[in-house]
Structure 1
């Protein structure tokens, strides 16, 4: 089980990087500004890995192919989660 979670985090993180490159057109490095720390591509790596790990833990796949497929789907889902949270944040500001 732990090996499945490890591979899910790895694959989800790599898919997160691919999504970051697709969205931004390049890899943006982490940087610190006066008000906050911008994680750059690490943000997508972390979210892709966490969503992949959660999906694998909750679905308990029985084969390596299912782990890979779920991790890829979840890696792209991490980017969608970010977009959804940004949408909710902008809607709350408008109200």
Structure 2
């Protein structure tokens, strides 16, 4: 089980960094402004990593292939959810 958890976290982090580069075209480093801290690429890595971790713990895949498929699907769906929240926030600000 520990092997599955670690493997899903690696896949989730990889999907997070790939989605970040796909959206922005480059890796944006974390920075601190006067009002808040912008996490940059760490935001998407952590989101995908935690989502993959929770789903793999909950579903307990039986094989390595299931673990890969579940982790990739959860990573991509968490990226879609994050993008949707950002779009809703931009729409509410206007």
TM-score normalised to structure 2 length: 0.88
CA distance in structure 2 between the partners assigned to 1:51 and 1:85 by the alignment: 16
Runs of 4+ in 1 over 3 A off after TM superposition: 87-94
Alignment of 1:1-95 (within 5 A): 1-90=1-90
For the residue of structure 1 that corresponds to 2:29, the secondary structure is: coil
TM-fit CA distance, 1:81: 1.8
| C-alpha contact (below 8 Å) 1:51/1:77 kept by paired residues | no
Structure 2 alignment gaps of length 5 or more: none
CA distance in structure 2 between the partners assigned to 1:67 and 1:53 by the alignment: 11
Query: Over aligned residues, Cα RMSD in angstroms?
Result: 1.6
For the residue of structure 2 that corresponds to 1:62, the secondary structure is: coil
1:63-85 CA-to-partner distances (Å, cap 9, x unmatched) read: 01111111111111221121232
TM-score normalised to structure 1 length: 0.87
